[in-house]
């Protein structure tokens, strides 16, 4: 199974699994969105072998005043790299971005500009 943090095009590698969860009631508290304790900040790294992680990640960015436009810029740059340098088709590139790409807000300090980054592990490709 796999799904990048950005899930760019409604593509993920689905799987059947069982999950054990532990819930705790926190009285007099309102939690407005999901929260969790996870074993790593980036749990998708569990799916990569040490050899794959050793090859590093390719990163693209989008910078500007509109968060959505910046995200699109980062994704488009990644798709261009995947097509140009990895020899993928556009459809394959979109699927890789959705399955293995991580889309994140990298910087908010330079008002009014955002920095959005997308990373893809280079180790998923045959050298």
Please report the pLDDT score of residue 12 as a whole number.
78
In the numeric block, which tokens belong to residue 19?
């999950």
pTM for the predicted model, two decimal places: 0.80
pLDDT tens-place string over residues 65-107? 999 999 999 999 999 999 999 999 999 999 999 999 999 999 9
Helix, strand, coil abundance in the chain, percent, nearest 5: 35, 20, 45
Please report the pLDDT score of residue 34 as a whole number.
75
- Scan for tokens 């979109």, then name that residue: 94
C-alpha–C-alpha distance, residues 108 and 111, integer Å: 7
What domains, with CATH codes, occur in the chain? Answer: 1-127 (3.10.28.20)
- Scan for tokens 């590093």, then name that residue: 56
């Amino acid at each position: 199974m796999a799904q990048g943090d950005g899930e760019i095009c409604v593509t993920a590698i689905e799987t059947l699994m069982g999950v054990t969860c532990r819930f705790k009631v926190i009285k007099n508290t309102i939690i407005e969105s999901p929260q969790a304790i996870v074993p790593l900040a980036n749990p998708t790294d569990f799916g990569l072998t040490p050899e794959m992680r050793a090859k590093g990640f390719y990163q693209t960015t989008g910078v500007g005043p509109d968060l959505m436009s910046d995200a699109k810029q980062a994704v488009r740059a990644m798709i261009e790299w995947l097509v140009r340098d990895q020899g993928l088709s556009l459809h394959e590139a979109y699927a890789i971005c959705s399955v293995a790409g991580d889309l994140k807000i990298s910087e908010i300090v330079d008002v009014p500009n955002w920095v959005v980054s997308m990373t893809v592990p280079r180790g998923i490709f045959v050298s």
